[in-house]
Amino acid sequence: MTDEAILQGQATTPFAGALSAAIRDRGMTLARLQERLAAHGNPVSRATLSYWRSGARRPEGAQSLAAVADLEQLLGLDDGALLQLLGPTQRTGPLGPVAFPFDEDPTEQRVRETFLAMGAAYPDPTRELTIHAVTDVGPEGHVRRRTARVLVQATSGVVTAVPYVEISTGEPTPPPGFEALGGGRISKRYTHPSNEVHGFLFELERPITSPETMLIEWAVTYPPEIEVSDGSGYGVAFQARELLLWTRFDPAWLPDWCDEIEETPAGRVVTPRMLHGARSLHAVRRGFGPGALSMGWGRGERPTTD
């Protein structure tokens, strides 16, 4: 069967349909198109062009996208006419190793038990591509609210819900309040018998199939009896593209010292930070994980560590 015969199938995507129509309208053969692309420094096989036209595959990667831009010119189309039809990438990208973001074995076991109690898989088949987490410290110096806006991606299969946990290792606490702010709802809550791990299941407003993404937002509020006063952070099991922490202090309570703490399989790094007259601090990492990033603070002398 010739390439041209293969191309008679129905186009299955907007990109494939537009490419197919442009090739037909220009009276161009795949062989000729391949030759002209190669002459322009964008070699693409006829089989690949066939896949693109039928919708069996889509262009991915810098070299393929450069070839698509060249196709627009060769087929007499406006700049971006084909590229804009591709939409977001369909690749998950490199996932990297998966690891529990903290090194306490009992804590990992409690997290696993909490996930399973909520009906979630462990490890969870999603990763967080972008995380913007905000912590608000009240006038008594205690954390009162944390919000997180997260771009989650399905890494395998179909995902309907994402589990999250609040951890207070060595300090049993009553459960905080969990609230969904966007992208879905909280369908389950669970407190581990240790009272050191509190979980919730965030049900997405629609299922996503790998490698689709969805933006969600949730909040955790701490009642007065939970006196979280010395830090807040965020852990990721996979590598995240961006992790941003923003800690905001009430003007009635400003710390004397702050630390930025990074914990990864490579070790623990503590970096002193200063407010310099501001009322907030932020820390950002790109291409970070697995691991945890946190901010610690206090009044008086900074504790010494061995």
Domains and CATH numbers, the chain: 3-85 (1.10.260.40), 105-159+209-298 (no CATH)
- For the chain, list residues with pLDDT below 50: 1-9
- The pLDDT value recorded for residue 198 is 96
- The pLDDT value recorded for residue 11 is 53
- The pLDDT value recorded for residue 1 is 33
- The pLDDT value recorded for residue 64 is 82
- The answer to whether the CB of 253 falls within 8 A of the CB of 247 is no
Strands laid side by side in the 267-273 sheet: 231-236, 291-298, 257-264, 267-273
- The pLDDT value recorded for residue 26 is 92
- The pLDDT value recorded for residue 51 is 87
- The answer to whether the CB of 282 falls within 8 A of the CB of 248 is no
- The pLDDT value recorded for residue 276 is 92
User: What does the pLDDT look like over 37-53, one tens digit per residue?
Assistant: 988 888 899 999 998 99
Alpha-helical (H) ranges within 55-104 are: 62-74
Q: In angstroms, what CA-CA distances link 221 with 218, 240, 273?
A: 10, 25, 26
